[in-house]
Amino acid sequence: MSEKFQRDLYRLYDVISENQKKLGDFYGLIEDKNYENEELRTSITEFLDECDLEYNKENILAVLSRLINLRDEQFVQVISKNSENKKDIDKKRAIGYLWTKNFHIKRQEGLLEVINNEKLLNEFYRELLKGIHEIGIALSHWQYEWNEHIINNINPGLKEEFGENVMKYLETHELLDMDEKKNIVDRAYSVLDKQDGNYTIKTYAQFFKEDTNKVSFLLEKLIEKLQSLEENDTNQKENYINYFKALNIAFSETNRYKLVKRWREVDRAWMKITSPLQVGHPLEYYEDHYRKAVALEWDVRLSNPKNIGASSTLNSINFMYKKLFDKIGEGKKQVYARTKENLQRIQLYIGRPAFYYASEFNGLFSAQVVPNDEQVSTEEGKKIFAFADNILDAQRAKPFLKINKIVFGDDFLQKERELIFKKEELWHKVYEVSTIGHEFGHILWLDSDSEITMNKSGVFKNIEEFKATTGGLVAFFMSENEEIKEYVFLELIKRAVGLIAWRKTGEVEPYYCEGLIHLKALFDCGVLEFNEKLIIDTNEEKYEKLKNWYLDTYERLARHYLMKKDANEFLKLFACKDNDDYMPIDDKVKSFVSYYWELHQKIGRDLDDTIKKSDWR
């Protein structure tokens, strides 16, 4: 890699970092009387008018959260106060998506201008980023239609017709995606179409013909341009071109039984790309709990040029996994071998999202381990992405809220804020345990068919997120770092409680369920008590008790995975469906969840006026 290219990576990373911090400054609209941004104020006013919402602090905070954090649960709660009509709520959510999309695409065009004006990177990468942006605009248009059809139309129809028997109906009528041997696979790259009362499968190229044609045209245009250029800085030219060719074939496929094969070829080609600029394509499913249609992800991730790693967390994961497997893994050596090999071949990229589109205007991830396809991972390994700098910026930018003061108290929040604002190095160490450890935790205990076998009830993801976080925690417990022990403890408490706010957000239901299981641990061990208000006890005795709870529960969960039992058998020990929502089966936990959810609806967007944010900056 040339010195110029290396310098340009530092410059680009700095520009993206500055842009992210400026985005967080938008909260000044409600926090700082002297904050001036008339363009933003006008845009928000017009948006609120379009949604028939009053211009007040609560609504502005919900809208800013939609724009800055790209999540819409606060916005949904605001519009739900005005209307309980699902069609009206879906319509306004769609308006929110389009508003957010247009805003961020404009910002990313500004970033492209900086790259081109300063001639950053080299011509090959400048054209690559330009092409990815054009494809991103097309995919963002498609995302709107994708969501309307699958999430707002087909899935509610399935639920109304078949209730709890949706999965059985889909499997019986061969309406799940299959490979060429007619084996059911664990995700979908197709949609259902309903004609004359009957459901049929159509590939994206068949159902979203105009969208896929547009994407295909842009991919071909990008491939042709890249083929004409030299690339001597990373020697990745052929890898990128092969990847984009595979994508074009996959998006254009019209044979439903070849879809998985085509997308496996995409993932294989993608795993060969090892440059600091990584493209993200459709990799995971989130919103679709039935057929698990893979989301239209599209982005560019830029690695931090400082080459930050996470060796201590990987070492503790390896130590924990071997120790526990020696205890419980008899007869399952193939699982151990594939897992160890995946851990050894991890490509770790710690950095920031540079460009993002389509489904990611509904939320960026704090980290990600992919591909999900275990056959590809067996051959090629996995990539882990972690966006620590973005998460820290987001935590520093968020307003101080009244609900946190009421629930957690001043002492708890003082310690959390000291970590976020004053102890950046320690914060990154905690993030490594809680978030990068979570991604390593996803890899453990899985065989090639684990998800398919364990997902008979359609809730595999609803225990998998808990397994991931707890894997990182248990690894930490077995190799403790005294310097951050208290902060890891506090982070767990804050996460468990905070996830209650996602109760009504379907695409993140697995994280909400994870929070319910963590809360069971915290209440069982006396860390939390609730009697009209939450009492938090983080003394050493409670910490040790909690640690033992996690060690025991994680061992039980690992056995569950090795035996490939239905995920619902584990989930129902902690939570079950109450109407449309999961609720805890433990009365103490249920009482607190109900209290927090009601409080969140009432004052979840009220600012804490007793403390100045500027005191912490």
pLDDT digit string, tens, across residues 218-269: 999 999 999 999 999 999 999 999 999 999 999 999 999 999 999 999 999 9
Q: Are strands 297-303 and 198-203 parallel, antiparallel or unpaired?
A: unpaired
The predicted pLDDT at position 366 comes to 86
The predicted pLDDT at position 56 comes to 92
- Residues in the chain with pLDDT values less than 70: 617
The predicted pLDDT at position 490 comes to 97
Overall pTM surpassing 0.85 (yes/no): yes
The predicted pLDDT at position 609 comes to 86
Q: Could you count the other beta carbons within 10 Å of the beta carbon of residue 433?
A: 25
What span, in angstroms and rounded, lies between the C-alpha atoms of 155 and 161?
A: 10
Per-domain boundaries in the chain: 1-120, 122-274, 395-615
Helices (H), 150-236: 155-162, 166-172, 204-207, 209-227
